[in-house]
Structure 1
Amino acid sequence: MSLKQTITTATLSIMLASSLSFSAASATKKETFQFQNLKAENYRTGTNQYLVYMRDTSTGKILGMELWNRTTNIIEKDGETLVEIRQDWHSTQDRSNRVIYSLNRVKDFSPVFHKTIHGADQAVSAFTFEPNLTKGDTNITGNTQASFSIESKPETLNWELDMETFGLLPLEAGKNFHMNFYHPGSKTPPQEYIYSVTGEETLKGMNGNPLPAWILEIDYGGRGVAKFWIDKETRQTLKMEETFGKIRRYKVRLGLPIEQ
């Protein structure tokens, strides 16, 4: 069996995330974008579902396929109003399955807590976030990342919540967003990435209804490109296409909920 046949969608996702990291220092420096004064009503609660798959463009073969459920709620915890986001990744391969649970502050979408349970062995990795430090949560039983720590910055956002982040941006034609992102647990430190509104397009829903969307794009230092179509009305991500060499990854929002 070839390497391409054995690589899973989740594994390739990690490869893409790590390989596409780059320094934005050569770009014209702009102020890092930070959310301010957000309120609970700025968040769209409920569940979005996505079909996620990868394709080898040289052969046309699909390398892996998953179903993602992403659910957003507003909760009260320890006297603070927080954004709770749960992701359930379902795959035909046990090692690709995972449950991701995140808590963020409402006012600026800054991360507070992040936990992932993944694979057939249900391995746990959990982190807490301070203004200048991301570290493993020692209060979580069985946390494989309990001793982890990495320097951070106050404006750092959780890259696992990119699509929820995009839904909060004040998108408009020609606008650029310099955002400091970090993937919890990664050895690559938080750094700035530039997302640009490069155009707009009207997509068609499953019933043929028009869906006007902004196109938000990032160039990973010439090594790959990702494009997101963001619904102008709901601010939900309708689809994504990401290219890295011969591999192209897709995320497509589904039109109807699927039973849990």
Structure 2
Amino acid sequence: MRFSTEDGQKRMQIRQRYDTAASAASLKTVSSWFDAGTLRPRTHERVAEKDGKRVVEGFVFAPDKITGMQGLAESINKDLVVDSPEPTFNFETDIETLQALPLADGYEARINFYHPGGQQGPARYLFKVTGSASIPGPGGMIDCWVVTTDYNRPGYVSTFWFAKGSQLMLRQDSPLGEGKVVVKTLID
């Protein structure tokens, strides 16, 4: 995470890197800029490399639409225009957004998310604190908020565990169908 000032406004950058070596080696890097105080997305750049092929994408978030980033030389989606009836959050930084919420017993939030470049436009997703649980961590058991969502796909409930002390996401379990589950964990 990095902070800077642009036009007198504080901005925050989140960088992500995904390395995969499962069936075929791939690398995805993401750079997202936000308004520092609100997490309102400004821009999103994604570069994916797999099997010698490189795909560059760039997006600009405005309060009423998401467009392709015209100034990003190799971007494949410069002509993208997705209308949004209300400002939307960047789905590729959903965990960072969820970690900033005031989680508590019974808390619920309907968040308007858009996955940059996705075929589905912006949509609201319901995230609920459904209880508490302790899960093992490197120093012992960690007390967590348990948060669930179905990502608007009834029957496919994803579960998240956020540490109560830090609000860091420690684990996510998301069903893919056919008995498959994606598990993300924070490694300390």
Per the normalisation by structure 1, the TM-score is 0.67
**In the alignment, structure 1 residue 252 sits paired with structure 2 residue 185:** yes
Written as runs of structure 1 = structure 2, the 5 A alignment for 1:118-129 is 118-120=48-50, 121-129=53-61
Match among 10, 20, 24 for residue 81 of structure 1: 10
| Equivalent in the alignment of 2:114 | 182
Residue 61 of structure 2 aligns to a residue in which SS? strand
Write out per-residue CA displacement over residues 34-54 of structure 1, whole angstroms, 9 at most, x where no aligned residue. Answer: xxxxxxxxxxxxxxxxxxxxx
Q: Which residue of 2 aligns with 1:99?
A: 29
Deviations 1:42-99 (A, max 9, x none): xxxxxxxxxxxxxxxxxxxxxxxxxxxxxx22222343211110001111233x3100
Take 1:212 and 1:186, find their aligned partners in 2: how far apart are those partners?
A: 35
- Equivalent residue letter for 1:118: A
One-letter amino acid of the counterpart of residue 114, structure 1: H
Structure 2 gap ranges (5+): none
1:244, distance to aligned residue in structure 2 (A)? 2.7
Letter in 2 for 1:252: T
Question: Aligned pair count?
Answer: 182
- Give the aligned partner of residue 202 of structure 1: 134
- Percent sequence identity is 26
**How is 1:210-221 mapped onto 2 (pairs within 5 angstroms)?**
210-219=141-150, 220-221=152-153
Give the partner amino acid of 1:157. F
Name the residue aligned to 2:42: 112
Q: What one-letter code is carried by the residue in structure 1 that aligns with 2:4?
A: I
Q: Deviations over 1:145-174 (max 9, x none)?
A: 111110014431111001101111011111
Residue 69 of structure 2 aligns with an amino acid whose one-letter code is: D
What is the match of residue 48 of structure 1?
Answer: none
Residues 110 and 125 of structure 2 are in contact (CA less than 8 Å); yes or no, is this contact kept in structure 1?
A: yes
Alpha-carbon distance in structure 1 between the residues aligned to 2:40 and 2:175: 28
CA RMSD of aligned residues (A): 1.3
Q: Which moved more, 1:215-224 or 1:166-175?
A: 215-224
Letter in 2 for 1:156: T
Give a deviation string over 1:165-191, Cα, whole Å, max 9, x none.
111101111111111111001120101
State the distance in 1 between where 2:14 and 2:146 align: 24
CA distance in 2, matches of 1:123, 1:170: 37
Q: Relative contact order (alpha carbons < 8 A, sep ≥ 6): 1 or 2 greater?
A: 1
Q: Any residues of structure 2 matched to 1:1-260 within 5 Å, and which?
A: 72-92=1-21, 93-94=24-25, 96-120=26-50, 121-208=53-140, 210-219=141-150, 220-245=152-177, 246-255=179-188
Cα offset, 1:106, TM superposition: 1.6
